[in-house]
Amino acid sequence: MRPTRNLPKPSAMIVAPQPEAVEVGTAMLEAGGNAMDAMLACAFTQGVVDPLMCGIGGLGVIHVYDPATGRHEVLDGLSTCPAACTEDMWAADFEGECTDGYGYRVRDAANELGHRAVTTPGILRNFALAHASYGSRPWGDLFEGAIGFARDGWIVRPHVAGVFATDEASYGRRPYVQKLKYTADGAALYCRPDGSPKRLGDVVRNPALAATLASIARDGAESFYTGAIAANIVADMQAHGGLLSAADLAGFTPRTAAPIRVDYRGRQIAVPAPPAGGIMVAEMLRILERFDLVALGHNAPDYMRVVAEAMKIAGRDKDEHIGDPDFVVPPLEHLLSDAYADDCAARIKRGEKAALTRTLADSRGTTTISCVDRNGMVVSVTHTLGVPSGVIVPGAGFMLNGAMNWYDPRPGRAGSIAPGKRRFSSMTPTIVFEGGKPVATLGAPGGAWIGVAVLQALLNLLDFGMGMQEAVMAPRFSATTDAIDIGNRIPRATQRGLEAMGYAVNRSAATFPFAGVHGISFWDGQLDGGADPQRDGYVGVVS
């Protein structure tokens, strides 16, 4: 007889890629904090224990649904170009796109490494807005866990060790060790005495960051934008030829907006609108609803062909049409229309192959959290440093983003540089509704692979009835070029089937490639969480 599980029914849940951060978020839920409180406490801790992924010098998107008020919105804290930027500032220095499609190369990597790479950080004001709108615990309480790990130390985990050792020279970006050692503060924090990055099991203590977080806990987020921390940032920028100014920091304002909502097989999928990446997921779902995916067979060659073509169409449309809506109005109505979805599906059924000649791959510099509390509030966030700049503000302990790398140095394009402009981001924190009530939430780190990974997790949940853990760890594939990239757990027979259809197929050596999806489902009030095994996190449960 199979043993039965006699575990208490969870009343709240949080999932994220860092065990220390999940621990802090779970403790906040246990202490009576709501989902927003737990997410924020978790996120501040992520900035300590995953310092090249995210932090208070970064940017991000929050997606929240509050059943108590019926409010459902996206809080956009994506960064902006400093006012000193000009469209042609690097036009003469342009050397090409990064070969993984995640950014652009200019001479001396000025848009990636160092002070000129820094955009106006948006995440901390976005977190403050989220707390003021939805939080229940005092602002200062949200920092206790993060301050403790910064002060007392944390151990370098497998994923962090992998990031520290990453060499992205083949993509056209600098090795991460150069970013770790760019400042004396960074070298002291994250490198061994011989200059090599700290390794698995090494301890990182960051008392300067503990002091910075304590000052933000005491004085509020405005200390970062208009107070003592802002003055420190601006002085460092002025000393090293940076673009970011006091006016840029003081003038940054997060945006709130309704999410995009699309129907998919009787459910509603809510995703953030541009310049965040939800449009790609929404468009792919609209196309794929025209197919009986279950009949094709999960990850069978025909299934992969159909889904891959939807990925390529959405990727091409994103490249051509999606940027900052303040500068380039996106044709969302057309891209999500029945007529366009019918036309795209018809082309796929005829065996046509969409052309997508760029090359995209993963970017490690992002993280995510999903949380559901005992009252049904749902919060999902994805935040990042973009491409880490290497700039650690002297004596402050945190790294600033390097998101200028995301802007196209060539004038006249949807993603070109402009003062105050936000860049398209693939971040896609998602909430699924059924009968007007939320039933699942998920998000992922993973740069250009976020959309295709979130899509497949949704298909696994909604079409194939998988639980959340199975859905996020099932073998994935990606079509962000004319080729199809597959994980190493997809059988060779399936690969041969795709090749017989005329596709080039690239097999990844990784067991769990293509972004790192984390999520929670809660059909019939039963919470079920999933953490992608490629990262180090887990599902925190409160009974």
Task: Compute the CA torsion angle 108, 110, 113, 116 (nearest 10 deg).
Answer: 150
Instruction: Give tens-digit pLDDT for 111-166.
Output: 999 999 999 999 999 999 999 999 999 999 999 999 999 999 999 999 999 999 98
In terms of domains, do 452 and 356 share one? yes
- Cβ-in-10-Å burial (0-12, 13-18, 19+) of 426 comes to buried
d(CA 125, CA 38): 17
Beta-carbon contacts of residue 477 (< 8 Å; ≥ 6 apart): 299, 304, 307, 308, 456, 484, 485, 486, 487, 490, 514
In terms of domains, do 387 and 457 share one? no
Of 47-56, 58-67, 101-110, the least confident: 101-110
- 3-state SS assignment for residue 120: strand
- Cβ-in-10-Å burial (0-12, 13-18, 19+) of 492 comes to exposed
pLDDT at position 101, please? 62
Q: What's the sign of the alpha-carbon dihedral 89, 60, 145, 213?
A: positive
pLDDT at position 173, please? 84
- 477 occurs within a structural domain: yes
Number of helices (H) and strands (E) in the chain: give both, helices first: 19, 22
CA 199 to the chain's CA centroid: 25
Nearest one of 20, 31, 111 to 542, comparing CA atoms: 31
Judge whether residue 260 has pLDDT over 90: yes
- 153 occurs within a structural domain: yes
Amino acid in the structure at residue 469: Q
Instruction: Give tens-digit pLDDT for 451-472.
Output: 999 999 999 999 999 999 999 9
Judge whether residue 424 has pLDDT over 90: no
d(CA 134, CA 150): 26
Which carries the bigger pLDDT value, residue 34 or residue 360? 34
Active site residue 366: yes
> Both tokens of residue 44?
């501040």
397 contacts 208 by C-beta, under 8 angstroms: yes
| Residue where a domain stops, chosen among 406, 439, 468 | 406
In terms of domains, do 236 and 286 share one? no
| Residue where a domain stops, chosen among 406, 439, 467 | 406
pLDDT at position 413, please? 86
The per-residue pLDDT of the chain, averaged, comes to 94
- Cβ-in-10-Å burial (0-12, 13-18, 19+) of 197 comes to buried
In terms of domains, do 276 and 389 share one? no
In terms of domains, do 176 and 226 share one? yes
Task: Compute the CA torsion angle 73, 79, 81, 84 (nearest 10 deg).
Answer: 120
Q: What is the mean pLDDT of residues 255-269?
A: 97
pLDDT at position 362, please? 40
pLDDT at position 358, please? 55
- 62 occurs within a structural domain: no
- 510 occurs within a structural domain: yes
In terms of domains, do 248 and 261 share one? no
Q: In which band, very low, low, confident or very high, does the pLDDT at 481 lie, cut at 50, 70 and 90?
A: confident
In terms of domains, do 238 and 312 share one? no
Instruction: Give tens-digit pLDDT for 159-216.
Output: 999 999 988 777 778 889 999 999 999 999 999 999 999 999 999 999 999 999 999 9
106 contacts 173 by C-beta, under 8 angstroms: no
In terms of domains, do 291 and 330 share one? yes
- 331 occurs within a structural domain: yes
d(CA 23, CA 26): 5
pLDDT at position 423, please? 87
Given 366, 368, 430, 494, the catalytic residue? 366
> Both tokens of residue 129?
């807005």
- 439 occurs within a structural domain: yes
118 contacts 391 by C-beta, under 8 angstroms: yes
In terms of domains, do 335 and 463 share one? yes
Nearest one of 437, 77, 396 to 209, comparing CA atoms: 396
In terms of domains, do 211 and 327 share one? no
Amino acid in the structure at residue 313: I
Judge whether residue 360 has pLDDT over 50: no
d(CA 143, CA 152): 14
Q: In which band, very low, low, confident or very high, does the pLDDT at 421 lie, cut at 50, 70 and 90?
A: very high
d(CA 539, CA 287): 32
In terms of domains, do 245 and 156 share one? yes
pLDDT at position 172, please? 73
- 2 occurs within a structural domain: no
pLDDT at position 364, please? 56
pLDDT at position 97, please? 81
Count of structural domains within the chain: 2
pLDDT at position 361, please? 41
**What CATH number corresponds to the domain at position 474?**
1.10.246.130
In angstroms, what CA-CA distances link 220 with 32, 56, 127, 129, 214? 22, 13, 11, 11, 10
Q: What is the mean pLDDT of residues 389-400?
A: 97
Judge whether residue 100 has pLDDT over 80: no
pLDDT at position 255, please? 96
> Both tokens of residue 216?
């933000």
Q: Which domain holds residue 508?
A: 257-362+427-530
Instruction: Give tens-digit pLDDT for 292-323.
Output: 999 999 999 999 999 999 999 999 999 888 88
In terms of domains, do 300 and 162 share one? no
- 270 occurs within a structural domain: yes
In 91-225, where does DSSP find H-type helix? 123-134, 144-152, 158-164, 176-180, 184-190, 207-219, 222-225
pLDDT at position 359, please? 43
